[in-house]
Structure 1
Amino acid sequence: MIRFILLLLLFLFSLLTVFKAFEFHLWLIAILAGELSWVFALIAGIVLATGYRFGKYQMPGTVLGILAVILFLTPVFRGLMVANKLSTKFGAAFGPGTANVDNAAEMPYNPFKSLYYRRKEVPFSSLTYVNYGKESLNLDFYASQIAGKRPCVIVVHGGSWKGGNSRQIPELNGLLAEKGYQVAAINYRKAPAYRSPAPVEDVRAAMGYLRRHADSLQIDTGRFVLIGRSAGSQIALLAAYSLADPSIKGVVDFYGPADMVWGYSIPSNPLIMDSRKVMSDYLGGPYEKVPGNYAASSPLEFVSRRSPPTLIIHGENDVLVAYEHSRRLNEKLQENGVKHFWLQLPWATHGFDYIQNGPGGQLSNYVIERFLRYATK
């Protein structure tokens, strides 16, 4: 009976690798199911192997266990399918040879890397980049591990515009520093005390600070790239498309809300997040009262032929920021002839990249490294 219950729970858990979560805690579990699926496939296999000790529920438990193992392994195989064509598709988007970097022989996704690989920590400095009267904002600066003036990546964290901080996913910041980029992970003013476009102004202030200290920080001020995550993607995209700053050479969008007007019209599941309240807090009210604020904060409204190259990364099972946002942004970029690439991850949900060694994390890092090389060449 215990074996049957365990296998039933594992089977239900494994369904989150193919179906969207419908509740907040299930969404958190879905991140684990998709990005650490091999762990749970192994657990299910071990429980399956104990079948000889039980009798009454052995057959139904075995069936559920086999199904669970198969479902848990689907992100691995789907990741391999994406990886198989990734280099070719990226090269088609940005030109021949752009998928090749110093470690060109590296696989976009190596399932065995999930089992053992751990990235070393890269030290950083906390620097105050702007003061607004009583409030000051800091950034975490990860110095490039390659000497000389280097391109600078500005990372904008997620958190529904009201939470989160610059310490999110430091592993990616460290990876980029190892590859030769100066990295500034910034904090910004948050809702509801501050509203859009305050965070975009903070991005501009951060760039100003980095320019003023370019000599001491060894920054090439002509080559900035913005990376945003979730709400931070809306900020990064809006800054990249609206500031008209030629030094912004590219922008990376991790599952960001690109169309705030459409996003308000199709709210997320309230059991996961009250997206309309989140947007109202950030934009000064519901759409019916301040429609202009929603349009003015929609990155795709500012896409033009002069927009910088863009990398979009989104999981189809995202339950916080609809996949449709990226489809709409992709379409707008195509219409305007903007160089871009959309990494589509069929199994992944919102926040998948918090597990850097999962299939989504590895594939994302692969394209980010190549995109940065292209954008800052």
Structure 2
Amino acid sequence: MIRLILMILLLLTSLLTVIKAPTYNLWKLAIGAAEFAWVFIAITIVVLLSGYFVQHYNTLGTILGILAIILFLSPLFKAYDVAGRLPKAMDEALGDHSDATPLSLSVIFSGYKEAPVAFTSLPYYGNLHMDFYPAIHPGNHPCVVVVHGGSWSSGNSRDLPELNIYLANQGYHVAAINYRLAPQNICPAPVEDVYLAMDYLRAHAAELRIDTNNFVLMGRSAGAQIALLAAYREHVPGLKGVVDFYGPADMVWGYSLPASPLVMDSRKVMENYLGGTYSAVPDNYAASSPVEFVHKNTVPTLLIHGEQDVLVAYEHSIRLEKKLQENGIKHFFLSLPWATHGFDYNLKGPGGQLSTYSVLRFLHNICYEQQS
């Protein structure tokens, strides 16, 4: 009976790889089920094998376990399908070519081979700090400015540092910034903080060895909205592009169709950030929507979003891509069919590998290929 109960629980967990998580805690479990699938597969196999050592072999439990393993494997199958098409798709979108491998089983089990990179905390304006990860190679290099997520009211520059270290090993400086948080500060305060951080980096470019003609903004979730708005709202000297990890791009539409209250009170989150309800301050919602600022001279954009996202609807990226297409902007949309919000928590998982590959190709294209 215990074995059967465990198999039912594992099967229910595996379903999170193919359906959207209905609650906040199950959303967190969904990240693990998809991006750490081998852990759950190993547990399922152990429970399966235990059936051979008990007197009453449970056929139903075995069937449920096999189904669970198949579902846990489904993100990897889907990831390999995406990986098979990704290089050519990026070749066509960016106009260059790479022989790098988007997805590797060896990386899943062993991780990326990279040198440790120590960051320096730098005060850039008042009490605001950034964490600066220097490129490991000598000389001047492009700088990626990273804006953290956290519903505009939490999080900090130390969130998800693995990609920062990876990029530093690939020859990019990374400046992960802190910004003023809601509800004490409303939009566009964080956007202004991005500009202040970039002003600091320009002023200290010589000592930090920054190529000021090659800045890139990158944000996750709420940070992606800030990064996109900073990139699109006005001309930013030296800005070559922006990377959007599952960011809300249309705040008006997002307020009209909020997330499930069992996952997050997204309307309350937006009200705290924008100073009130849509009916009270409609102009603030329009003024904070990156889709409203796309124009013919918008910088190249990389969009990355999971179709199973339950915090920031996948539709946001669909709408942004449409505006980019209409205006003829160089861009690429990495769509991950199995992935949910925060899939890149595990950089060596299927979603983490594909997004890392896409980010690196995008950075190389906008920072180096356009110069040749």
The amino acid that maps onto 1:376 is C
CA distance in 1, matches of 2:136, 2:182: 35
Query: Are 1:111 and 1:359, in contact at CA under 8 Å, matched by a contact in 2?
Result: no
Aligned to 1:235: 226
* TM-score normalised by L of structure 1: 0.96
SS of the residue 1:258 aligns to: coil
| Within-5 A mapping of 1:30-109 | 30-54=30-54, 56=56, 58-95=58-95, 98-100=96-98, 104=99, 106-109=100-103
Q: 2:276 aligns with which of 281, 285, 306?
A: 285
Aligned length: 367
CA distance in 1, matches of 2:124, 2:340: 33
SS of the residue 2:171 aligns to: coil
CA distance in 1, matches of 2:351, 2:327: 28
Report the CA distance between 1:53 and its aligned residue. 2.7
Report the CA distance between 1:246 and its aligned residue. 4.1
Query: Are 2:115 and 2:169, in contact at CA under 8 Å, matched by a contact in 1?
Result: no
Report the CA distance between 1:365 and its aligned residue. 0.4
CA distance in 2, matches of 1:198, 1:66: 52
| Within-5 A mapping of 1:188-207 | 188-207=179-198
Aligned to 2:124: 129
| Within-5 A mapping of 1:314-353 | 314-353=305-344
CA distance in 1, matches of 2:34, 2:60: 25
The amino acid that maps onto 2:330 is K
2:257 is aligned with 1:266? yes
Aligned to 1:117: 111
2:286 is aligned with 1:295? yes
SS of the residue 1:127 aligns to: strand
2:300 is aligned with 1:309? yes
Query: Are 1:315 and 1:346, in contact at CA under 8 Å, matched by a contact in 2?
Result: yes
* TM-score normalised by L of structure 2: 0.97
Identity %: 59
Query: Are 1:4 and 1:57, in contact at CA under 8 Å, matched by a contact in 2?
Result: no
CA RMSD of aligned residues (A): 1.1
Structure 1 unmatched runs, 5+? none
2:355 is aligned with 1:364? yes
CA distance in 1, matches of 2:201, 2:9: 51
CA distance in 1, matches of 2:291, 2:342: 22
Structure 2 unmatched runs, 5+? none
CA distance in 2, matches of 1:289, 1:55: 67
SS of the residue 2:353 aligns to: helix
CA distance in 1, matches of 2:20, 2:29: 11
CA distance in 2, matches of 1:50, 1:336: 59
Cα deviation per residue 1:215-235 (whole Å; 9 max; x = unaligned)? Answer: 000011111000000000000
SS of the residue 2:105 aligns to: coil
Report the CA distance between 1:55 and its aligned residue. 5.2
The amino acid that maps onto 2:109 is L
Query: Are 2:117 and 2:136, in contact at CA under 8 Å, matched by a contact in 1?
Result: no
The amino acid that maps onto 1:72 is F
SS of the residue 1:112 aligns to: helix
Report the CA distance between 1:52 and its aligned residue. 1.8
Q: Which segments of structure 1 move beyond 2 Å, counting only runs of 4 or more?
A: 53-57, 118-121
Aligned to 2:15: 15
2:137 is aligned with 1:146? yes
Report the CA distance between 1:47 and its aligned residue. 1.2
CA distance in 1, matches of 2:4, 2:308: 28
CA distance in 2, matches of 1:246, 1:261: 29
2:350 is aligned with 1:355? no
Report the CA distance between 1:73 and its aligned residue. 0.3
CA distance in 1, matches of 2:169, 2:335: 26
